[in-house]
Structure 1
């Protein structure tokens, strides 16, 4: 829903970020006020269990551009971004995480780039990730290389979820029928004109990461299964390989039998069963992931449910701290 008076919406997903919020307020507000445009900061609280929501409610009293959208339960980072896309009202939309590893100061460069280059998407690309751990840098490189091979080379390497998009892109994303979208793949896939702004990734300003190794692997697997049938093709090739191995074992067994050198033994049997059984289980697992996605899609359950939007509740009694936490 576009508000003609709003130039920019800054969407910030948050989950248990009470430690970083004071720093976030101190850096974000002066920056956005200095742009000289009408804006809103749309914070999507992804079911936080700490004082994040109550601190945001309190801050909104002094910062009228701050808006809180609270999901009923923790739905995940990509779902929180989807909620922000659906509720943002600005002509342009920026997505940024609350940990300030992606510097808010780059937003001004993005606004300049989107207008001067006449594009619809400006990707924030990390030129230096030395602040990240070795394991995170390694898995990130593996992820982007894999996605470039499976999905296409239009995906910005080290792009992440720090980007600016125009209202055309927002409407296109909201019009997609799929749930569980991965934004760092969906937006490049749409094919809108784009450019990049490089920046140095900083250390987390406060608190600790909520995106552990398990969630990163889940994102990678969702990315693959949502955008490519390559795993199904892999299952097919593994099935063919298993068939060839079986044929080799049969031919070998017949040759040994005809030569009169057949010796009962368990090694070859165990080897054959182990190899073919492993391939079959892997293929079944890959097929099961796709069937699960079809099943979830057929249920048509909403990806997220909004429990509170401070914009809609203006003029009503503010939530007290206990009701916000519930």
Structure 2
């Protein structure tokens, strides 16, 4: 009996300290799952010996396949490369830090094999492993994004999910260069279900995302999937114009009835600085959108592959 093929996708950047433990845990979890599988690891320009360790594991297990990118293109680009080379009937992204438990893969596959769902989300029921600040900012981001965007991202769902080949092929049709994968994964829709789990501490190493990078990541996600911020500028401009018109009427009436009133310096400076700040803010916001247009127009490739191991000779993205 032929089993369906599951492609496990794992971008890696400087994960040398945890690779052995990652494969040991993942392969053990896949032993009783009723699928054939391939593990596609993308080395995203690591500065340590991550690539050499991946090659060693690829020599040990022919199901492990390795892509080496020419430099560090970022996690979203590395995930895109893994998607492009995946051959599975379903794909499942998972991080190498093992905060998303491989033991959950069997339940996700079981839900998919029922034929009722094309996407199986793994939702974090608890984020105790994260700091209070990270939990709160994540909560604020999901709520803000879902209010402003036409698509809905499930709260506390990361990249760890199972997607049917139909969903993967739909995602591969999306051509944008500045990629926010959480949004792209959700954009096609399809029938889905949710499995909850408690997120664990990182098995090795530290997160590559500091708060500044997370802020830029959130800004990228919002501007990639919503024009609402620009629309806010339009509405705010109308409100300020209306208030200015009302104030002008009041000044005219007051001048005609009580004479000319010389306004104070402080109030004038407050108004000027307030309106100048609003203008600069929305000029910067407009620049975010123009910058994304600029990236799309250049049409540069999302990633470049330096070498690959374990793939068929004729297998390309």
TM-score after normalising by structure 2: 0.92
SS at match of 2:102: coil
What displacement does 1:303 show? 1.4
- Greater shift after overlay, 184-193 or 145-154? 145-154
Aligned to 2:163: 165
Q: In structure 2, how many angstroms separate the alpha carbons of the residues matched to 1:98 and 1:253?
A: 65
Deviation at 1:250, TM superposition (A): 3.4
Q: Which runs of 5+ in 1 are unaligned?
A: 315-326
SS at match of 1:209: coil
Cα deviation, 1:230-287, whole Å, max 9, x if unaligned, reads 0110111121233234335534544554423523631122012111111111121111
Aligned length: 311
Conserved 8 A contact 2:151-2:187: no
Alignment check: 8 A CA contact 2:7 2:90 kept? yes
SS of match in other structure, 1:162: strand
Give the distance between the partners of 2:278 and 2:82, measured in 1 at CA. Answer: 42
Cα distance in 2 for partners of 1:276, 1:252 equals 20
Output the CA distance in 2 between the equivalents of 1:312 and 1:9: 13
Within 5 Å, give how 1:32-51 maps onto structure 2. Answer: 32-51=30-49
The answer to whether the Cα contact below 8 Å between 2:177 and 2:295 also exists between their aligned partners in 1 is no
Task: Tell me the distance in 2 between the aligned counterparts of 1:275 and 1:242.
Answer: 11
Unaligned segments of structure 2, at least 5 residues? none
Whole-angstrom distance in 2 between the partners of 1:303 and 1:158: 27
Q: Aligned residue for 1:307?
A: 306
Residue matched to 2:55: 57
Which residue of the partner structure matches residue 132 of structure 1?
130
**Residue range with higher mean Cα deviation, 43-52 or 243-252:** 243-252
CA distance in 2: counterparts of 1:268 and 1:147, whole angstroms: 36
1:8-47: CA deviations, max 9, x gaps?
1100011111112121122012222332532111011111
Q: Aligned partners of 1:145, 1:105: CA distance in 2, in Å? A: 29
Distance of 1:149 and 1:270 partners within structure 2: 35
- Structure 2 distance, partners of 1:113, 1:9, is 16
Partner of 1:270: 269
- Which position in structure 2 is the counterpart of 1:209? 207
Q: Which residue of 2 aligns with 1:121?
A: 119
Q: Distance in 1 between matches of 2:84 and 2:3?
A: 18
CA RMSD of aligned residues (A): 2.0
* Deviation digits for residues 181-205 of structure 1 (CA, Å, limit 9, x no counterpart): 3222222221111111111100001
Cα contact 1:57–1:68 (8 A) shared by 2: yes
Cα distance change of structure 1 residues 5 and 71 upon mapping to structure 2, 3 Å threshold: farther
CA distance in 2, matches of 1:287, 1:253: 34
Matched residues in 2 for 1:31 and 1:191: separation? 28
Cα distance 1:272–1:254, how it changes in 2: closer, same or farther (>3 A)? Answer: farther
